[in-house]
Amino acid sequence: MLGLWGEAADVRLKLLSKQAEQQRKALAAKGKEASKLEAELAAAQKKVDACTARLQTLGFDAAEVEGLEAARQQQLAAVRALKDSVEALAAQLPPSLDFQFKDPERGFDRDRVKGVVAKLVRVQDPSTATALEVVAGGRLYQVVVDSDATGKALLSRGGLTKRIRYRDDPSAVLAAARQLGAGRARPALELVGFEGGVEAAMKYVFGNTFVCQDAATAKKLAFSREVERRCVTLEGDDFNPKGLLTGGARQQGGCMLARLTELLAAEDRLAAARAALAETEGRLAATAAAGKEYRRLQQELELQRHSLSLLQDRIATSESSQLAEALAATETEAEAARAAKDAAAAKRQEMAAMAKTLEREMADLTRDRTSRVKAAKDKLKAAKAALDAARKAARAAEAALTEAEAEAEAAAGERGRLEEQAAAAAAAVAALEKELSKLQAAVEAAGAAHQDASEKLKAKRARLKECDAEIRALEKARDKLASQAMECGVERRRLDNRMASKRGEQGSATDRMRRLEEDYQWIPREKANFGKPRTEFDFEARDATKVYEEYQDAGARLNALKEKGVEKQRAKRARAPPSPAPVWLGIR
C-alpha cells in the first residue's frame, strides 16, 4: 500500500513537471509580446512619474489659491458694503464740504490745496464734536492752501476765503484757564488732530477758544479778567467775553462734525479694505502663470494615468500574463506533490525497518516463548494498528492516484480551455488595441478641445477685463454724475438763497423807494419817465454805475472846494485887523 501511495505521488509529480515544462515553453514563445508590454508599461509609468514630479516641483498650492479667491470675493463684498456706507454718510453732509476747483495754471500741484477745514481735522473725543463745531462755526467750510500765491491763483478763478491773522494765546492765559477751570476746560486746539502743514489754519479756526464741560465753568473763564476768552460748553452754549451769549436747541440732523468724523473713519476703513483687496489680487496675479501651468500638467497627468490604466488592463488580459499565472499555480502544485512523495518514501523505509525487527523477534520466539508471546501480541497489536493505518494510507494513495489521473485528464481539458482562452485573449487584445486607438484619437480630440476651450477661456478673460474696465468707467461716470448732481444741488440752494436775499432786498428797496419819494418831491413827478428812451432817465443810454461814480467824484471835488474855501476864509480872518469891541445897548 505504501508503495502504491509513493508511486501515485511520483506520477502526480511527473505529470505536474511535464505540465510546467509545457507552460514554460508556451510562456517563452510569448516572451517578445510580454517584453513589449512590460516596456510599454515601464514607459507609461515613467511618463506618469515625470508628470507628477513636474507638478511637485512647480510649487503651486491649489488650496492656497482657492483660499485667496475666496478671500478676494469676501473683500470685494466688504469694499462694496463700505463704499455704500461711505456714500450714504456723505449724502448726509452739506454739499459745501465737497470743494471742487479747476487748476488755475498748467502743471498745477493740487497738493498745494489742502482742502476744506472740516475734512482736515480729526475729533479725538466724540463728546466734544458739538462744542468744536460751535467753536469753528463757518470756518469749517473754508479752504486751506499752502501759501498766499496759491490762494491768489485760486481766487482769480472763483474766490475762496479771506485772509485773517491769528494771535497765539499767551502762556499766562493758558495757565490761568487751567487753574480756574480745575480740569474742566481745555483749549479747543488740543481736542482735534490734524496732519502737519496745516497748523496755522487749525490755530486760526480753533485758537483763542476753550471747551468746557459745563456752563458754570465756561461762564467763569469767559468773564474772568485772567482769561477773558471765548468758551463753549459740550452742549454748544457759547460764552463770549464781549457780552454775547448763545445757546438753546441745536440744528436739526445732529452734529455735522460728528457725522463727518464717522465718514472719515468709514473712508479709512474703505481705504484699508481696498488695500487688502489690492494685495490679494496682486498675489493672485503672481500665481496666475503657475496656476495655468498647474492646470495643464494636471490634465496631462490624468491622461497619462488613464493610458497607464488601459495598458495595465491589457497586460492583465494578455495570453502571456495568463500563462505566467498558470505556470506559477502548476509549480506550486508540483512542490506539494514532491513533498508528498518524500513523505511516502520516508514512511516506506520506516515500515521496512519495522518488518525486519518483527522477523528477528519471531526467530527468537522459541527461546523466550512466554515473554515473547506477550511482547509479540503487543507488537502484533501495534502492527495491526500500523497495518490498518497503512491500509488507510493506501486507500488515500489510491484515492490520490485516482485524483491525479482525474487531474491529468482535467489538465488536458484545461490545456484546451487555455488555448481557447488564449485565442479569446488574442481577440480581446485586438479589440483593446482598437479601443486604445480610439482612446488615443479621443485624447487627441480632447487635447484639441482643451486648446479650443483654453482659447475661449482666454477670450472670456479678456472680455471680463474689458467688462471690468467698462464697470470702472461706469462707476467713474456715476461718480461724476453724482458730483454734478451735488453741484446742481449746491447751485440750486445758492440760487434759492440768492432769491431769498433778493426778495429781502426787494422789500428793502420798496421801503427805500417810498422814503425817497417822500424826501424828494421830483421823483413822483418824473417817475413816469424812468427808463424811457431819449430822456434824462434813459437807463439804457446812460450807465448808472458810471453816473454814480461821476456823482461821487463831483461830491468829492465839491467837498474839496468847500474845505479849500473854509481854509481861505480862516486865512483871511487871520490876516484881518481885530474887530472893535461889541457895544451893548440897553434900555433903562
| pLDDT above 70 (res 167) | no
Grid coordinates representing 470 are 467698462
Catalogue the E-assigned strands of 159-234.
185-187, 192-193, 209-212, 230-233
CB proximity list for 447: less than 8 A, separation 6 or greater = 303
Q: Say what the pLDDT of residue 559 is.
A: 77
| pLDDT above 60 (res 367) | no
DSSP class of 143: E
> To the nearest whole number, what is the mean pLDDT of the chain?
72
pTM above 0.75, yes or no: no
User: What crossing angle do the helices spanning 2-29 and 31-58 adopt, rounded to 10°?
Assistant: 70
Helices assigned H by DSSP within 92-170:
117-120, 129-136, 148-158
Contact between 132 and 206 under an 8 Å Cβ cutoff? The reply is yes
DSSP class of 140: G
| pLDDT above 60 (res 555) | yes
Cα–Cα nearest to 160, from 99, 231, 92, 83: 99
Q: Say what the pLDDT of residue 270 is.
A: 92
Exposure b/e, 498-525, CB count within 10 A at least 16 = b: eeeeeeeeeeeeeeeeeeeeeeeeeeee
Alpha-carbon distance of 403 to 397, in angstroms, equals: 9
Q: How far is CA 41 from the centre of its chain?
A: 47
Q: What is the pLDDT of residues 200-212, one digit of tens each?
A: 888 888 887 888 9
379 to each of 328, 357, 462, 497, how far by Cα in Å?
Answer: 46, 10, 104, 143
Alpha-carbon distance of 324 to 360, in angstroms, equals: 55
**How many H-runs (helices) and E-runs (strands) does the chain carry?**
15, 9
Residue 255 phi/psi, 5-degree rounding, is -80, 125
Contact between 351 and 37 under an 8 Å Cβ cutoff? The reply is no
| pLDDT above 90 (res 272) | yes
Give 588's pLDDT tier (boundaries 50, 70, 90): very low
The three-state secondary structure class of 180 is helix
In the chain, % helix, strand, coil (3-state, to 5) comes to 75, 5, 20
Lowest average pLDDT, out of 218-222, 327-331, 349-353, 558-562, goes to 327-331
Cα–Cα nearest to 327, from 224, 208, 411, 243: 411
Listed ranges 51-55, 365-369, 387-391, 411-415; the one with the highest mean pLDDT: 51-55
Provide mean pLDDT across the span 167-189: 57
